[in-house]
């Protein structure tokens, strides 16, 4: 038979166990609440980051308009050329500051090579792959950035590497 002090100790231990059980049971619900709140916060932060990136992109491209790319084949290369013999003219209008006037004006510009296109206009082209000639996009159909990079490097070197093809 147990003594009074032993029974009192067991009762105190049992009450502590019940308190622990109740606290742990409440913790399950708290974990579910926190998981839901965390998922909502992650979604909100992701949405805000996407909105911020979109706003930055719009800001970067704000002064760029009328972008077009025209492609031509040199006369002697008709029907037997490849992508490296093609000529491209990239035309765009970009807002530029005129120090004489003290304000910005849209300035139409034409360049004869993708390697001379300003970085912001190149990013505009990458974001608008429908403006990039199909022959260049074919170099890497999954990535306009990669396709343009392959083309610019090949044009600079004078040949395609690692099995890349520029044949028409």
Map out the domains of the chain as residue ranges.
1-60, 63-157
DSSP state of 21: H
Mean pLDDT of 110-130: 91
Report the C-alpha dihedral over residues 22, 24, 30, 35, rounded to 10 degrees: -160
Portion of the chain with pLDDT greater than 70, in percent: 92
**pLDDT at 97 (0 to 100):** 84
**Quick one: how many helices (H) and strands (E) in the chain?**
4, 3
* Residue bearing tokens 């992508």: 83
C-alpha distances in angstroms, 167 versus 80, 163, 164?
9, 11, 9
pTM, entire model: 0.63
Look at residue 3 and tell me whether its pLDDT is greater than 60: yes
Helix (H/G/I), strand (E/B), else coil: 103: strand
């Amino acid at each position: 038979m147990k003594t009074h002090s032993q029974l009192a100790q067991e009762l105190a231990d049992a009450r502590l166990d019940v308190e622990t059980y109740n606290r742990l049971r409440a913790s399950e619900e708290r974990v579910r609440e926190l998981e839901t709140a965390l998922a909502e916060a992650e979604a909100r932060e992701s949405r805000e980051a996407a909105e911020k990136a979109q706003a930055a992109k719009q800001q970067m491209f704000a002064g760029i308009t009328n972008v077009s790319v025209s492609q031509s084949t040199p006369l002697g290369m008709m029907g037997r050329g490849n992508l490296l013999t093609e000529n491209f003219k990239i035309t765009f209008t970009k807002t530029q500051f005129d120090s004489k006037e003290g304000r910005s004006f849209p300035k139409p510009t034409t360049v004869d090579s993708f390697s001379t296109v300003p970085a912001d206009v190149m990013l505009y082209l990458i974001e608008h792959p429908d403006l990039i000639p199909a022959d260049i996009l074919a170099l890497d159909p999954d990535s306009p950035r990669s396709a343009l990079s392959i083309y610019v490097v090949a044009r600079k070197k004078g040949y395609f590497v690692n099995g890349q093809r520029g044949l028409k």
